[in-house]
Each structure stands twice: as structure tokens, then as C-alpha cells.
Amino acid sequence: MLREENPFIKGWRKGLKSVALVYPNRYVGGISNIGLQYIYAEINSREDFVCERFYTDVFNGLRSVESGRSLKDFDIAFFSLQYEEDYFRAVKILKESGFKGLKIAGGPCCMLNPRPILRFFDAFVIGEIENSKIIDNILEAKSREDLTGVEGIYTGVEEKVKRIKPKKLDFHLRRQIIGEGAYGRCVLLEVGRGCIRHCRFCVVRQIYSPPRWRDIRLLLEVAEGYRGVVNKVALIAPSVSDHPKIKELIAGLAEMGFMVSPSSIRADTVDEELMDLLVAGGLRSFTIAPEAGSEKLREILNKGISEEDVLNAARIAKEKGIRSVKMYFMIGLPTETDEDIREIVELVRKVKSIIPKVSVSINPLVPKPHTPFQWLPYTGFKDVKHGMNELNRRSKILRKELSKIAEVSIERVDDFALQTILSRGDEEVGDLIELGRATLKTAEKLGFLKYLDGIPIDKELPWDFIDHSYKKERLIKEFENKVNIQI
């Protein structure tokens, strides 16, 4: 039984149009997604509509949380696709439920490249839905045709789709469902969208541009409404500590008696005052994402964080009483060598000498659409099969060396190859998704390993039809001048 505050329980009556909001992953992630919560509240605030939620760990995603109704009894299903691996679960839910209504998908995966999942949905939302007419358009639509050509919607026939977004974040979700989410039982405060940084591997700069921050008066006012309901606030943004008034905000929330949990803090923004505030707000362990061990690779990533920033953040955290730190790295970066791998171990060792409990998480890089890395071969090697062997070998070195000093988790090279295919593939990749579950072997049999290869700069890309308001020439320039490897 879910313990929730604030869900909308609407009586079903004849004539009511129903929308299923499907998060094809676990409840804990879905309930922490403020965008989904916004859509839920927005639809339920309308007299003639009811919106209920579906998660894979509640009735296997086939019946709703609120009333236990079957997905097939709903008129519209709105899927939120946050991760490429969710495609399999989404398609399985659609098949097993026998849903025949209007199928809509939204979320970052759709903003990146919806082509691999094109055949499974009638329409895709490209962008941020708030303050637009999109919810009305979807609620009024009866078929794919009704949505063709609508601003911010892709139905498969449009030659260009411009991403929609609110210019200003002068609003915030007021009525939130409080459940056991990724940040615990808390109120979500979305402090901003987009990012002022230019990390080359990251999609945020392109698909959530321009960076927008919320006024802290608005944020504090929203939090005020939850005093006495919860004792914790989660601050949400791609880079929370870049908010120009982050210290004032945390101080204000702490004064109101809230514990504060930020979704991300950049090491180079940490100073004593910020750490004092975070610790006062309940922070007990700290996360640092240097992404690469060597300065050379961090330069290619354009991460903008130096070893000194990392060590300085660790020192300050230690002084303020933090006893554990989690570090994130990637492997398979362009020009990476064994020396760069050794530098990961060295950096972890240095942090460990400051804070005794270190855990390390390592992922292979997925060269994502709309980034200056989008043309890269998976693994960074021209011969991808050889590259995958290399990455497996490097993973072993890292596991062996790091497990002596830290808790280590390293994602599988095959799994991230599959993610790259799902992320960079074209329509035909739907054949793989159709299977409901897939391995790299299946992808190979279907001839999809080609999506792991480096892509010639002049080739048209499956996601070129999405206009995120950046100039492709800029990405090409960055790729040619900074990444600088032969593909």
C-alpha cells in the first residue's frame, strides 16, 4: 500500500475523459519527477478529465495507482520516457494491456531522438509542456492526425519540429503528491532548468536551453505550503549549486525547519559557507562528479573541474563533518589511454586520504544526440569491437585497483552499447524494442551495431529534424577543434 499525501482521487462518471500517466519504471523515480507531477495536477484540475498514474512496480504497470483500473479502459496514455532502457518496458505495457487509445510520449528521450520508438506512439511531445497549449491539444485529440503539425509535437511526418519551452519559470507546481521517492518523503523544489556550463558529453545545454532559474521568493513560498507536512525539501536542477542565490535559498529553507537535499552540487562551487548550509540542512554524504581522472580528458569533456576543485571540495566536506563521498567517472572517452585510467585510481586515492569512505561509480560514455560528441564511435575507438574489448579490460583494471580502496560499481560495456543504439538509432531500431527485451547479441543479429560506429560529419542524423535552437555548425566546430579524433 502506498503512503501518499495529496493524490487526486476523482470519482469516475460517464462522459469523463481519462488519461493514464505511465512511468515505465519504478514508483520511486516516477514520484520524484516534478514534470510528471505537473501534468498530473494540470489534467486533474480540469472538470471533465481524470488522470491516474501507472508504475511498473505497481500492478506491473497495467492498472492505475488511484483506482486500480486497467490501462485499456483509459482514453489517452501519456508515457514519460526518461531513459532509453524504459522503451522495452513501455512497449511491453502497451502490448500486455491491450491499450487501444491515443498513445503519447514525452520526456528527455523524445527530445533527443524519438525515431526508434516512432511506431509505438501516435505523437511525441518535443519540449517542456508548461504554459503551452499542448495539454489542451492532446486532451482534445482523437487521433494522430489531430496532432499533426501542432507546435512542439512530432507525429512522424513533420519535417522540422521546434522544441517548445516556457521563457520564464515564473510558476511552480503547488499541489504535489508526497510519496517515498528518490529523495525520501519530501517536497520537490525545481530551482531551475538548463545549465550555464558547457560539458560536451551532456545533453542539458542543448535540450534545456536557455538556462532559467526560479526566483527564490517563489521557491520559499511553495515550501511554506509544506511546513508541517514534510520536513525535507529536495532541490532539483541539472546543476543546483549554480543557482545565483543558492545560499540564500538553503538558508531560508533551513530557517523554516526543513532539511535540504540537493540533486547535484558541482565541486567547484563548494566553499565553507555553502557546505555549512548544506550540513545544517542535513547533508551527510557528498557527491563529486569529476567524470575523468586526468586533466587532459576533463579538458576534452569541458567539465571545468580541476583536481584542485575536487580535493578542495573533499577537504571542506571533511572539515564540516561529512564522512562519505561518492564519485562519478566515465570511461570510453575520446583519446583515453591506460594512463587516464590510472589517473582515476589516483584521484580516488587522493580523495580517500581526505574522506575515509569513498564509493565510485563508473559508466561507459554514451555519445548522445545533440551534443558535440554525437558523431563519436562508442568507446572512442574507430574499431568499436576492439574498443569494447579495451573497455572491458579497463573496467577490470579499475575494479581490481579501486576495490582495494573504495566501494565500486562499474556498468557493463554491453549495456551501454545497447543504450547507444537506442539513443542514436533510426526507426528500424523499433524491431529490437518490439522484442520487449534485448541483448547486444540480438542487436547484432538485426544489424544494428552500425549505430555504435563513428558518424561522418556530413551525414544526416535521425534527430536533425528537432530544432533545439542551437547551430549545428557550433557542434561541428567543437567536435573538430576540441575532440579531435579521426572517425
How many residues bind to ligand SF4 according to rule CB under 6 A? 9
Q: Where are the beta strands (DSSP E) in 133-258?
A: 153-154, 161-162, 187-190, 192-193, 212-213, 232-236
Helices 338-352 and 307-319: crossing angle in degrees, nearest 10, is 20
**Smallest separation, CB 8 to ligand SF4 (Å):** 32
**Smallest separation, CB 39 to ligand SF4 (Å):** 23
Could you say whether residue 204 binds ligand SF4 (CB under 6 A)?
yes
Nearby residues of 423 by Cβ (< 8 Å), 6 or more positions away: 84, 109, 112, 113, 366, 368, 369
DSSP of 274-286: HHHHHHHTT--EE
Contact 461, 451 (CB under 8 A): no
Could you say whether residue 113 binds ligand SF4 (CB under 6 A)?
no
**Smallest separation, CB 301 to ligand SF4 (Å):** 9
The single residue among 43, 112, 199, 300 that binds ligand SF4, judged by CB under 6 A, is: 199
Q: Judged by CB under 6 A, which stretch of 14-22, 181-189, 193-201, 354-362 contacts ligand SF4? A: 193-201
Q: Judged by CB under 6 A, which stretch of 14-22, 109-117, 201-209, 246-254 contacts ligand SF4? A: 201-209
The single residue among 63, 193, 197, 232 that binds ligand SF4, judged by CB under 6 A, is: 197
C-alpha cell at 44: 486533474
Q: Which of positions 385-444 make contact with ligand SF4 (CB under 6 A)?
A: none
The single residue among 92, 205, 243, 320 that binds ligand SF4, judged by CB under 6 A, is: 205
Q: How many whole angstroms separate alpha carbon 105 and alpha carbon 404? A: 44
**Smallest separation, CB 189 to ligand SF4 (Å):** 17
CA neighbor of 123 nearest in space, from 108, 139, 109, 143: 143
The single residue among 118, 202, 254, 317 that binds ligand SF4, judged by CB under 6 A, is: 202
Number of H helices, E strands in the chain: 18, 17
Nearer to ligand SF4, 204 or 250 (CB): 204
Q: How many whole angstroms separate alpha carbon 485 and alpha carbon 204? A: 23
CA neighbor of 263 nearest in space, from 34, 5, 109: 34
Q: Which of positions 233-252 make contact with ligand SF4 (CB under 6 A)?
A: 238-239
**Smallest separation, CB 266 to ligand SF4 (Å):** 6
Q: Where are the beta strands (DSSP E) in 187-302?
A: 187-190, 192-193, 212-213, 232-236, 259-262, 285-291
State the burial class of residue 136 (Cβ atoms within 10 Å of its Cβ: 0-12, 13-18, 19+): exposed
Nearer to ligand SF4, 69 or 205 (CB): 205
**Smallest separation, CB 201 to ligand SF4 (Å):** 7
Could you say whether residue 290 binds ligand SF4 (CB under 6 A)?
no
Nearer to ligand SF4, 197 or 370 (CB): 197
CA neighbor of 19 nearest in space, from 58, 59, 54, 56: 54
**Smallest separation, CB 265 to ligand SF4 (Å):** 10
**Smallest separation, CB 298 to ligand SF4 (Å):** 11
The single residue among 19, 139, 195, 292 that binds ligand SF4, judged by CB under 6 A, is: 195
Contact 53, 30 (CB under 8 A): yes
Contact 333, 365 (CB under 8 A): yes
**Smallest separation, CB 238 to ligand SF4 (Å):** 3
Sign of CA pseudo-dihedral 210, 211, 214, 216? negative
Binding site for ligand SF4 (CB under 6 A): 195, 197, 199, 202, 204-205, 238-239, 266
